[in-house]
Amino acid sequence: MAVHFHEEDLPGDVFAPGPIAVDTETMGLITPRDRLCVVQLSDGLGDEHLVRFAKGSAYDAPNLKAVLADPARIKIYHFGRFDLAAIEYYLGVTAGPVFCTKIASKLTRTFTDRHGLKYLVQELLATDISKQQQTSDWGAPELNDAQREYAASDVRYLHRLREILIERLEREGRTGIAQACFEFLPARARLDIAGWADKDIFSHE
């Protein structure tokens, strides 16, 4: 298992066919203000790839964009709503089709309100991951080893979580509603970008 670090784009053909786990690191939580700094990806076979974008980047990353926009590859996220918005805003592609482990968790683990990645990995995979670097400076000129390991760990377990959560969705009869939520996520991300991030447009108010 290795963590591969790249500047501005992926090399060509680094992934096996099949689903790709995806996560992003940004300067903050407001997509148009807080630039995209890192995109991390894994095909689930043991290696993670981190793509860093420098301040002032043109985000011209044809290999990365091709992977993210490939309609034949499912993209596995944890809280995909945020990552989809960052990717669309800065890279200009819709990174689907989608499977979101946070949505799947909320639809199946209704006995708890703990749906963060750390809790999912603990419960379903009996593994502890550190979230210490979550709020570190991802726009720094150099990323340290702790940041790189943190970023890699955010995609390292998503394939295994997806397999377990697919089984639970099927067991509880919620596969169809989950799929409908996944299909809507790119539109939800566009609403966030357009200014409706804190509004429920489906509510009566």
Dihedral, CA of residue 149, residue 155, residue 159 and residue 165, to nearest 10: 110
| Region 47-58 average pLDDT | 98
- Reported as a single tens digit per residue, the pLDDT across 79-138 is 999 999 999 999 999 999 999 999 999 999 999 999 999 999 999 999 988 766 666 899
Segments making up each domain of the chain, as ranges: 3-196
Nearest to 91 by CA among 38, 143, 157, 147: 38
User: What does residue 55 show for φ and ψ, rounded to 5 degrees?
Assistant: -55, 130
The pLDDT of residue 197 is above 70: yes
Nearest to 41 by CA among 8, 90, 88, 5: 5
> Across the chain, what does the average pLDDT equal?
95
Stated pTM of the model: 0.95
Domain covering 3-196 assigned CATH 3.30.420.10 in the classification: yes
